Amino acid sequence: MKNQKVIAPGITKKELADLYGVDLRMLNGWLKEIGINTKKRLNPKQLYKMAHELYLPEGVTLAIKEPGFEVRELNDGEQDK
């Protein structure tokens, strides 16, 4: 059985870069393009946004199990509120 690679809260940007197969500078550029600016670690909402905006590498899963964390998609009519 293969080792499962998981992106979860607490993962460092260096570890993320390794999972994506890029250097830290490239990952920082990607994160900046999608509006994520952080020093070392991404919080659960940032991790979700990163996976949603970029992609998940093959064989990697996203595990967000933080209490009270809720992802909510807006309907077209809710954006103006």
Cβ 6 vs Cβ 61: under 8 Å: yes
Tens-place pLDDT, residues 11-48: 999 999 999 999 999 999 999 999 999 888 998 889 98
Question: Taking the model in full, what pTM does it have?
Answer: 0.72
Tokens linked to 1? 């059985």
Average pLDDT, whole number, for the chain?
82
Question: Is residue 1's pLDDT more than 50?
Answer: no
Question: Is residue 67's pLDDT more than 70?
Answer: no
